[in-house]
């Protein structure tokens, strides 16, 4: 039972344009969501998070949007840069439970 789903295995975007990565979840108890970026053969790097009391959180070029009624979150990267090419994982948790549930990841490729 996949509680967190990233339905797009890959995404290709032109440099300078907006990248939008999507994530859906099924467990309505989740109230904390995170995005991680991962390069090959490296550990994931924390990017940005959002609590369920908010619907948007912004950090520089990265913005995460949360739609609780649709159980959907998205990560927007603008403008996209070549260094953004990586696999992006969304993760969800019930705050206080200390267990993250990860999606399958989306491979983002930024084309020059």
Query: What single string gives the DSSP state of each residue in 46-112?
Result: EEEEEETT-SEEEETTEEEEEETTTTEEEEEESS--GGG-EEEEEEEE-TTS---EE---EEEEEE-
- Tell me: does residue 44 bind other proteins (CB under 8 A): yes
Q: Pick between residue 8 and residue 79 the one whose CB is nearest to other proteins.
A: 8
Structure tokens at 41: 């053969």
> Closest approach of Cβ 40 to other proteins, in Å?
10
Which residues, in sequence order, are CB contacts of 79 under 8 Å at separation 6+? Answer: 15, 16, 17, 18, 61
Stretch that binds other proteins, among 54-62, 66-74, 78-86, 90-98 (CB under 8 A): 90-98
Q: Pick between residue 42 and residue 69 the one whose CB is nearest to other proteins.
A: 42
Interface contacts to other proteins, rule CB under 8 A? 4, 6, 9, 32, 34, 36, 41-46, 49, 51, 89, 91, 93, 95-96, 98-100, 102-105
């Amino acid at each position: 039972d996949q509680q967190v789903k990233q339905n797009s295995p890959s995404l290709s975007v032109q440099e300078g344009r907006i990248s939008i990565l999507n994530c859906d979840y099924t467990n309505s108890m989740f109230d904390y969501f995170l995005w991680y970026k991962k390069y090959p053969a490296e550990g994931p790097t924390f990017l940005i998070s959002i609590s369920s009391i908010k619907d948007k959180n912004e950090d520089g070029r990265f913005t995460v949007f949360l739609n609780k009624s649709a159980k959907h979150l998205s990560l927007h990267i603008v403008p996209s840069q070549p260094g953004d090419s990586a696999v992006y994982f969304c993760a969800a948790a019930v705050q206080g439970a200390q267990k993250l549930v990860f999606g399958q990841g989306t491979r983002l490729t930024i084309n020059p």
